[in-house]
Structure 1
Amino acid sequence: MKSHVWRPLYVVLFVVATILVVRKIVVPPDFGIGPRGYMYGWHRPSNEGEWQKVTVKYRTTEYCKKCHRDKYDEIKQSPHANIACENCHGPALAHPEDPKALNIDRTRELCARCHFRLEYPTSGRGKIRGIDPKTHNPGLECVTCHWPHDPRKEGHHDHAQKLL
């Protein structure tokens, strides 16, 4: 064969060899090894100690329910029943020792994460009632008119004022 065939082949073999050498140097030896043998994934047995030192910032809805049973019961009867408290109220790690540690997000952007109208009616998100934030009361926060724990309730304004 002529050199115009061998040169590209050598380049490809060099690139593949380089990738394999770099992978051997960079990727830890126990990466992808699990109890059932080799598998893809991010778990490394040698890394478990590092993860045990990570401080978890979030608690659970069960934690919130202990002191806020009325709010818990209210939201569990609403369309927002599957939303964890900390999705809107922020991580509860320092709560209740420091009640101001909870950063309650009242922005339109928070609500728009789920309520921005999607054009995909067959997706799970397509079943959520959506709005166009540019035309639906622009300039107002959603809590001005809607009580987040149960947006179906009458008198949204009364409940929403409690949040402000």
Structure 2
Amino acid sequence: MKNHVWRPLFLVVAIVAGILFTRTLLVPSDFGVYERGYMYGWHRKSNEDDWKKIRVKYKTSSGCPECHKDKYDDIKASPHAIISCENCHGPAYDHPNDPQGLHIDRSRELCIRCHAYLPYKNNVRGNIPGIDPQNHYPQAQCIMCHYPHNPVKPNLKYKKTEVKP
């Protein structure tokens, strides 16, 4: 064969050999798929014990009704039913052992992260009722008028006072 065929072929073989050599240097020998197959993907077998020591942070909403039945029932009957409690209150990894473990954020920013108006009507995010945070009572917290666990109900906890925009 001519040189114009051999040179590119040698170049490709050298690149592939370089990649394989680099892989043997960088990838640990215990990296791969083990007894559970591809269910958990590729991982290092020697690293499993390290991962077992990490505490689970998110517990889902399944444990909430035991102590917070009224709030849980309210949210399950509302448009917020699809939202996990931990989306707003943070991870419940040490709750109820640590009652302060879940943060109650009453800031506008928490609500606005989902309810700021976005003009995307062709997707799910665009269907969420949105407001213009600059013009919709910017000096007031959302919970002054809206009950967060069921926003269609008025928040009767706070005395109704007129807030000027």
TM-score (norm 2): 0.73
Displacement after TM superposition at 1:68 (Å):
0.9
Partners of 2:36 and 2:60 in 1: CA distance: 31
Partner of 1:84: 84
Amino acid at match of 1:86: E
State the partner residue of 1:159.
Answer: 157
Aligned Cα root-mean-square deviation (Å): 3.2
Q: Partner of 1:67 in structure 2?
A: 67
Can you list the C-alpha shifts for 1:4-60, whole angstroms capped at 9, x where unaligned? xx7x999887776555433332233454636797x7x85415133222111112222
Q: CA deviation at 1:120?
A: 1.8
Residue 75 of structure 1: CA displacement? 0.4
Are 2:135 and 1:124 aligned?
no
> 5 Å matches for 1:12-161?
18-29=18-29, 31=31, 33=33, 43-44=42-43, 46=45, 47-154=47-154, 156=155, 158-159=156-157
Q: 1:146–1:160: 8 Å Cα contact kept in structure 2?
A: no
* 1:32/1:44 contact within 8 Å kept: yes
Output one character per residue of 1:78-102: Cα deviation in whole Å (capped at 9) or x when no partner: 0000111111122222222321222
Question: Which portions of structure 1, spanning 4 or more consecutive aligned residues, are displaced by more than 4 angstroms?
Answer: 8-20, 29-32, 34-37
Shift in CA distance, 159/32, structure 1 to aligned 2, threshold 3 Å: farther
Letter in 2 for 1:102: L
User: Which has more radius of gyration?
Assistant: 2
Instruction: State the Cα distance separating 1:123 from its structure 2 match.
Output: 1.2
Q: Residue deviations 1:102-146, cap 9 Å, x none?
A: 211222222122212222211111111112222222232222221
In structure 2, relative to structure 1, the CA distance for the partners of 1:113 and 1:29 (3 Å cut) is: farther
Q: 1:112 is paired with a residue of what secondary structure?
A: helix
Identity level (%): 51
Q: Match for 1:101: what amino acid?
A: G
Q: Residues of 2 paired with 1:90 and 1:63: CA distance? A: 14
Is the Cα–Cα contact under 8 Å of residues 78 and 149 in structure 1 kept in the other structure? yes
